[in-house]
A and B are shown apart, each in its own frame.
Chain A
Amino acid sequence: MNVATKAVRALVVRTAGTNCDRETCLALERAGAAPKLEHVLQLCEKPALFDGYGIFVVPGGFSYGDDLGAGRVLGYQLRTRLADALQRFVARGGIVLGVCNGFQVLVDTGLLEGALSERAQRGVALDVNASGHFECRWVTLRAEASACAWLEPGELLPVPVAHGEGRFTVRDAEVLARLKSARQIALRYVQPDGSGGTDVAYPANPNGSVEAIAGICDPSGRVLGLMPHPERNLTPWNHPRWTRLGPRAEGEGLSFYRRMVATASALAK
């Protein structure tokens, strides 16, 4: 069997306002997966479309214009129409990734907290940036020691953020403690040199996230959401300071996707 036929299949959901499909599919492809774009209305009609996929990605964009809140309407569709399919997908070892608007969608579904339907129980939110507006800038992420099945703790990742509502927020201290004890804090904003703890401030922490949290995973470690865009750092020339750096073979964001695809391949066996 050749490599191509063994490539893990990745389902990338799109809907009105999805706009990071190009770079997301490119990242998955370059990382060795076989991506397929599917409209959410198709999925709602045929939840069986999830069969055969090892990865499910909710890419960035402004789903439905974020008209009722970031990621709200797509989250609502997943919550109300695809809850079973999604839960089965994760239970059978599938990997779920939500980037930017996709993270907002996953937060809205409750999937990251392991409670897809109990809306009132939700403890985390992605709030309006502390600056009050959309902001596009490059930041540095550090993978934390977490339950995430495929991040490499300590790895640094220069990546752009581009969002207006990415301020990671918790209902109360108890929620934060619960996330920590379940090892769900997966990614933090740090200074460009990798330094910094939970108190990293603007602009390194671009939106005022509590404890500089940029991404979290679910307790299983197979569902990950993050605000920044690793898929926008694939080439050696995406980095904002590449002309000041030495030669690089590829963008740092590619390793993020490569690890995810490799883990999904292993889980699929």
Chain B
Amino acid sequence: MPTVTHSASPLARATLPQAWRIEVFRRPNFDDPDGTRALREFAELGLTTVQAARLGRGFLLSPALSRVDVERLVVELFADPVLDVARITAPGAAPLLDPRARHRVLVMKKPGVMDSVAQTIERTIARAAYAKLANGERVRALTFQAWEFVGTIDPRELERAAKRTLANEVIEDVWVDREDVHFTLPDDHAVRASVTVPLRDASDDELVRISRQGCLSLTLLEMQAVRAHYRELGREPSDCELETIAQTWSEHCKHKTFAGRIDFRGERIENLFKETIQRATRELAKPWCISVFKDNAGIVAFEKDGDVEWDVCFKVETHNHPSAIDPYGGAGTGIGGVIRDVLGVGLGAKPIANTDCFFVGPLDLEEARVPKGCMHPRRILRGVVAGVRDYGNRMGIPTVNGGVWVDPRYVGNPLVYAGTVGLMPRWAAEKSVQPGDLILCVGGRTGRDGIHGATFSSIELDESSSVVSSSAVQIGDPITEKRVLDGLLRARDRRLYRAITDCGAGGLSSAVGEMGAECGARVQLERVPLKYPGLSPAEIWISEAQERMVLAVPPEHLEAIRAVFAAEDVDATAIGEFTDTGELELFYGETRVGVLDLQFLHDGTPRPLRQASYTPRELADPGAPPCANPGAMLLALLASPNVASKEWIVRQYDHEVQGMSAQKPLVGEHEDGPGDGAVLQPLASSRAGIAVGCGANPRYGLLDPWAMASAAIDEALRNVVAVGGDPARTAILDNFSWANCANPEQLGALVLAARACYATSVAFGTPFVSGKDSLNNEFRVGDEVIAIPPTLLVSALARVPDVSRSVSMDAKAAGNRLYVVGLTHGELGGSHYLGELGLDGGRVPRPDLALAPKQLAALHAAIRDGLVRSVHDLSEGGLAVAAAEMAFAGRLGVELSLSAVPTAELPANYDPNATRLFSESCTRFLVEVEEAHAAAFERALAGRDFARVGSVDASGRLKIRGVKGQTIVDLPVDELARAHRGGFAG
């Protein structure tokens, strides 16, 4: 990276690129939104002397092009005739500059980092009738950003600010007041031969060193198993083989801890995952579970339409470590990856909805308190939102559900979850590979992107992670993935392939290794299409370059399937075939660069016994202290980051594309009420719908991991039931993000949470159909380790019998009755109320597993029968927040009497008003019912805990009377709405 040497002249000259340089700026009479944003973000860093900023879109093109062609390209392709002006600079010449600009900052992706715009340019020029190079070569293009600044600025300060706001040095180079951007390809340094790694005679210390230096993330025990295997074979492993083992055995791919042996306080667990999550699903044995746990996503039955049985599938993934280092690229590839999971489930599903959940550090953190090596949580959140936005929107998949949770312990290790729902015909639910099928690699080309992503995601982050792990970061290209999607579904419907999987973590090594696990495979690595020359066989084999799928294609369909993809402008290359040898054989040309026994690869992982314990924190129960000013507390809760409006995020996502939405993320009179879940109508000819919701509460996890997990499931179910989902047809997904489970206490918390999942899933009759765990979420600065709180995200996918009966959470009409369904307990442990008061400890909410399922079933029946007008679940902030949201979303009045709220007996230190207002007990709802349906509603809920607590009126105020009848809250709904949207807004 060029370092900055400031000279008196704003433009120090160095070697200027041998390429045509085009910079496209907006005409001076149009404002520049990118410049405005840069000024705002500079100001946040205290740099206020910049008066104006403008962004030029920069392009470099092959120097052999003629000036006439370049000028024509600029007019026809690069510049808008109304909005833009362009500057063209000849190869090697000094660029034309705006004389007003005092400083320039150039930002360009490092060589080899995905530049999708450059790809589009190259493809478009290749199809043009002009701009041909004499030697017949393709025109090459690169892009960069050219920022111009006006004002008196210390260039060092400018550089610092630029690196924190305009560029990410992990993937980009930055030039301040220099013009010598590069026009190069990555180095061609590869050895294209088989490299052996001497292992058989290595000592244990050497094994550890080999694992660490090779970024293999294998433990000593695992390295010993590998050594023993090769001693038995009487030879040394090749680098390809060792890499394949490392990828396949990575925590990310193998889930060694979750599926491993555990000693929990003297109790033996053979396989935590099988004994909890999977066991619940097995025992429930729901006939509508079509494919669970064995494929890229869980598949459940949806609806018969004409002759076709339609299923829906759902998968949620974490993409934590890449997002910490490059929020934009990390979140984008996170969503891109989970979309490919859905494209690769069975024979492929059409993605119809995305979800995203973010867990980040405090958004108002002082700059000085951001740990070394971390980005500010604001920058992370803005980055991940933009990443999901740009990927999901371009793919044409509506992002319909999600959440943001803030906690100081996520500051070094944010969590980024992305989910995708797919729609598929039943016949496409199963896949099978047969020996003789060709291995077809489809989609993006392979580069050095994301080498060691799978092993990287399995280790702890530290302050140097952003430097050493840059190659683990991938950059997505959504339009390539959209091309793949378009081709794939057409090929699927013509039944041109027998099996498919995505190229995710571990790249081809995982994809081919998994598909060939039952039979065998032979791969010719030199056939894999590359972005640029110079990759070694091992790099090709483990690269995590994005937007690739692997298909098993019967040879007789090869021509047809290649034609399908060619019509979409997608590369589809046969790189080998599946065999019946039980071996994975890798060739580079004639040279065999690796051969692995598939049984050893998949079953040879040592299964160490891990120690787990759990010591509850000893904290006094603070109870529910009385609230001196409930109205002020309510306003504070509405503005707190977990409760406050996420509208700034929601509206950046296209939640309407595909035209299926029936309940949206934002509802009500002014479309600013936070909907509990989203409802979609996937089939045009059927009113059946799906509801998507989620639940998580990291504040509960540190106090009581069992209750945390159980409450997360309850919340996810509440959210889908509240909008009309059928709890008897709801599938759930578990996504655990945990700190380092080598720590027995962390592992003990995981055991408790997993056991809670079992008990809760069985009690509700809602099976898990898919899930994922991400362990080792810690950040190390010096000697200090910041561990994330135990975090379980539960996502729910429910069938909605009839979308015309789905409901929203906004109050609908004056005169309607309001009921609270569910029993309020003295459960304020981890609540937002105690959080506002700065109090720790207390009883964490957990659902009553005997009663809660009946509660949900009864409420669902009432919704299905059209007896209710609105439903809002009670969660963060309790009844007070739910009532406020319902009132302002409907821009109506709400009147409540706390004395009527069904409440369990409370211990002495639980103030009756504070408990009823702010307890976060599970399985509770606020329900609006028309007078005419009141009797039927009460019949439907007979035997359950519920009571009429008030009514909707036209006052435009929220009025709450305390247990003694006195008014304790009286606030206009406009003030509530204002507080709710008063937080951070991007």
| A133 to B648 Cα, complex, angstroms | 10
Chain B CB count within 10 A is highest, among A124, A171, A241, for: A241
- Judge if A142 is at the interface, Cβ distance under 8 Å: no
User: Which of chain B's residues has its CB closest to A244's CB?
Assistant: B812
Residues of A near B659 (CB, < 8 A) are 20, 22-23, 26-27, 229, 231-234, 238
Pick the contact of A137: B478, B651, B890 (CB < 8 A): B651
Binds A, one of B117-125, B230-238, B367-375: B117-125
Considering the complex, which residues of chain A in the window 1-24 have a beta carbon less than 8 Å from any beta carbon of chain B?
Answer: 14, 16-20, 22-23
Binds B, one of A72-80, A86-94, A213-221: A72-80
| A2 to B471 Cα, complex, angstroms | 63
User: Which of chain B's residues has its CB closest to A237's CB?
Assistant: B662
When the two chains form their complex, are residues B33 and A128 in contact, meaning their CB atoms are under 8 A apart? yes
When the two chains form their complex, are residues A238 and B77 in contact, meaning their CB atoms are under 8 A apart? no
Considering the complex, which residues of chain B in the window 782-818 have a beta carbon less than 8 Å from any beta carbon of chain A?
Answer: 803-804, 806-808, 810, 812
- Judge if B654 is at the interface, Cβ distance under 8 Å: yes
Smallest CB–CB gap between A188 and chain B, Å?
Answer: 20
Known: A64-B120, A68-B117. A125 touches B658 (CB 8 A): no
User: Which of chain B's residues has its CB closest to A159's CB?
Assistant: B656
User: Which of chain B's residues has its CB closest to A137's CB?
Assistant: B651
When the two chains form their complex, are residues A243 and B36 in contact, meaning their CB atoms are under 8 A apart? no
When the two chains form their complex, are residues A241 and B669 in contact, meaning their CB atoms are under 8 A apart? yes
| A121 to B37 Cα, complex, angstroms | 31
> Chain B 469-492, CB within 8 Å of chain A: the 1/0 string?
000000001110011001000000
- Judge if B661 is at the interface, Cβ distance under 8 Å: yes
- Judge if B82 is at the interface, Cβ distance under 8 Å: yes
- Judge if B870 is at the interface, Cβ distance under 8 Å: yes
- Judge if A67 is at the interface, Cβ distance under 8 Å: yes
Considering the complex, which residues of chain A in the window 31-87 have a beta carbon less than 8 Å from any beta carbon of chain B?
Answer: 39, 41-42, 60-62, 64-65, 67-69, 72-73, 76, 79-80
- Judge if A198 is at the interface, Cβ distance under 8 Å: no
Known: A64-B120, A136-B654, A137-B671. A243 touches B82 (CB 8 A): no
Considering the complex, which residues of chain B in the window 835-877 have a beta carbon less than 8 Å from any beta carbon of chain A?
Answer: 869-870
Residues of A near B803 (CB, < 8 A) are 237
When the two chains form their complex, are residues B389 and A125 in contact, meaning their CB atoms are under 8 A apart? no
- Judge if A240 is at the interface, Cβ distance under 8 Å: yes
Pick the contact of B567: A39, A62, A69 (CB < 8 A): A39
Smallest CB–CB gap between A2 and chain B, Å?
Answer: 21
When the two chains form their complex, are residues B394 and A62 in contact, meaning their CB atoms are under 8 A apart? yes
When the two chains form their complex, are residues B478 and A65 in contact, meaning their CB atoms are under 8 A apart? yes
> Chain B 893-913, CB within 8 Å of chain A: the 1/0 string?
000000000000000000000
When the two chains form their complex, are residues A136 and B684 in contact, meaning their CB atoms are under 8 A apart? no
Residues of A near B478 (CB, < 8 A) are 62, 65
| A228 to B33 Cα, complex, angstroms | 22
Residues of B near A131 (CB, < 8 A) are 33
When the two chains form their complex, are residues A135 and B652 in contact, meaning their CB atoms are under 8 A apart? yes
Smallest CB–CB gap between B692 and chain A, Å?
Answer: 16
Known: A41-B569, A65-B479, A136-B654. A243 touches B870 (CB 8 A): yes
Considering the complex, which residues of chain A in the window 131-158 have a beta carbon less than 8 Å from any beta carbon of chain B?
Answer: 131-138
Residues of A near B569 (CB, < 8 A) are 16, 41
When the two chains form their complex, are residues B654 and A134 in contact, meaning their CB atoms are under 8 A apart? yes
When the two chains form their complex, are residues A22 and B82 in contact, meaning their CB atoms are under 8 A apart? no
Give how many A residues have a beta carbon under 8 Å from the other chain's beta carbons.
Answer: 64
- Judge if B407 is at the interface, Cβ distance under 8 Å: no
Chain A CB count within 10 A is highest, among B30, B478, B684, for: B684
Known: A23-B658, A69-B80, A243-B870. A132 touches B812 (CB 8 A): no
Residues of A near B810 (CB, < 8 A) are 243-244
Smallest CB–CB gap between B399 and chain A, Å?
Answer: 9
Residues of B near A26 (CB, < 8 A) are 659, 684
When the two chains form their complex, are residues A125 and B80 in contact, meaning their CB atoms are under 8 A apart? yes
When the two chains form their complex, are residues A136 and B76 in contact, meaning their CB atoms are under 8 A apart? no
| A137 to B121 Cα, complex, angstroms | 32
| A162 to B659 Cα, complex, angstroms | 12
- Judge if B98 is at the interface, Cβ distance under 8 Å: no
Considering the complex, which residues of chain A in the window 152-180 have a beta carbon less than 8 Å from any beta carbon of chain B?
Answer: 160, 162, 169-171
Residues of B near A121 (CB, < 8 A) are 81
Known: A132-B37, A135-B651, A240-B664. A232 touches B656 (CB 8 A): yes
- Judge if B571 is at the interface, Cβ distance under 8 Å: no
User: Which of chain A's residues has its CB closest to B394's CB?
Assistant: A62
User: Which of chain B's residues has its CB closest to A232's CB?
Assistant: B659
Smallest CB–CB gap between B715 and chain A, Å?
Answer: 22
User: Which of chain A's residues has its CB closest to B36's CB?
Assistant: A132
Known: A19-B395, A61-B396, A73-B124. A125 touches B82 (CB 8 A): yes
Smallest CB–CB gap between B929 and chain A, Å?
Answer: 14
Give how many B residues have a beta carbon under 8 Å from the other chain's beta carbons.
Answer: 64
- Judge if A181 is at the interface, Cβ distance under 8 Å: no
| A162 to B661 Cα, complex, angstroms | 14
- Judge if B681 is at the interface, Cβ distance under 8 Å: yes
Known: A162-B657, A229-B656, A238-B662. A124 touches B82 (CB 8 A): yes
| A108 to B654 Cα, complex, angstroms | 23
Known: A16-B483, A128-B33, A240-B671. A73 touches B77 (CB 8 A): yes
> Chain B 392-416, CB within 8 Å of chain A: the 1/0 string?
0111100000000000000000000
| A60 to B659 Cα, complex, angstroms | 12
- Judge if B655 is at the interface, Cβ distance under 8 Å: yes
Considering the complex, which residues of chain B in the window 453-503 have a beta carbon less than 8 Å from any beta carbon of chain A?
Answer: 477-479, 482-483, 486
| A56 to B36 Cα, complex, angstroms | 39
Residues of A near B651 (CB, < 8 A) are 135-137
Smallest CB–CB gap between B595 and chain A, Å?
Answer: 39
- Judge if B211 is at the interface, Cβ distance under 8 Å: no
Smallest CB–CB gap between A122 and chain B, Å?
Answer: 5
| A42 to B568 Cα, complex, angstroms | 10
| A10 to B393 Cα, complex, angstroms | 26
Residues of B near A27 (CB, < 8 A) are 659
When the two chains form their complex, are residues B393 and A134 in contact, meaning their CB atoms are under 8 A apart? yes
Considering the complex, which residues of chain A in the window 94-131 have a beta carbon less than 8 Å from any beta carbon of chain B?
Answer: 108, 119-125, 127-131
Pick the contact of B82: A39, A80, A123, A232 (CB < 8 A): A123
Smallest CB–CB gap between B387 and chain A, Å?
Answer: 13
Residues of B near A160 (CB, < 8 A) are 656
Residues of A near B129 (CB, < 8 A) are 80
When the two chains form their complex, are residues B807 and A127 in contact, meaning their CB atoms are under 8 A apart? no
Known: A26-B659, A231-B659. A243 touches B33 (CB 8 A): no
User: Which of chain A's residues has its CB closest to B566's CB?
Assistant: A41
When the two chains form their complex, are residues B34 and A127 in contact, meaning their CB atoms are under 8 A apart? no
Considering the complex, which residues of chain B in the window 916-964 have a beta carbon less than 8 Å from any beta carbon of chain A?
Answer: none
When the two chains form their complex, are residues A122 and B654 in contact, meaning their CB atoms are under 8 A apart? no
- Judge if B667 is at the interface, Cβ distance under 8 Å: yes
Pick the contact of B83: A20, A136, A169 (CB < 8 A): A169
| A123 to B80 Cα, complex, angstroms | 11
- Judge if B116 is at the interface, Cβ distance under 8 Å: yes
- Judge if A236 is at the interface, Cβ distance under 8 Å: yes
- What would 24 A/B residue contacts be, using CB atoms closer than 8 Å? A16-B482, A16-B568, A17-B479, A17-B482, A19-B395, A26-B659, A27-B659, A67-B116, A67-B479, A119-B81, A120-B75, A121-B81, A122-B81, A122-B82, A125-B80, A128-B33, A134-B653, A136-B656, A169-B82, A229-B656, A233-B659, A240-B671, A243-B667, A244-B890
Known: A232-B659, A235-B681. 7 other contacts (CB 8 A): A67-B479, A80-B128, A119-B81, A160-B656, A171-B82, A229-B659, A237-B803
**10 shortest interchain CB distances as A-B pairs:** A19-B396, A23-B659, A132-B33, A125-B82, A67-B120, A65-B479, A237-B662, A162-B654, A67-B117, A232-B659
* Interfacial residues, chain B to chain A (CB-CB below 8 A): 30, 33-34, 36-37, 75-78, 80-83, 116-117, 120-121, 124, 128-129, 389, 393-396, 477-479, 482-483, 486, 567-569, 650-659, 661-662, 664, 666-669, 671, 681, 684, 803-804, 806-808, 810, 812, 869-870, 890
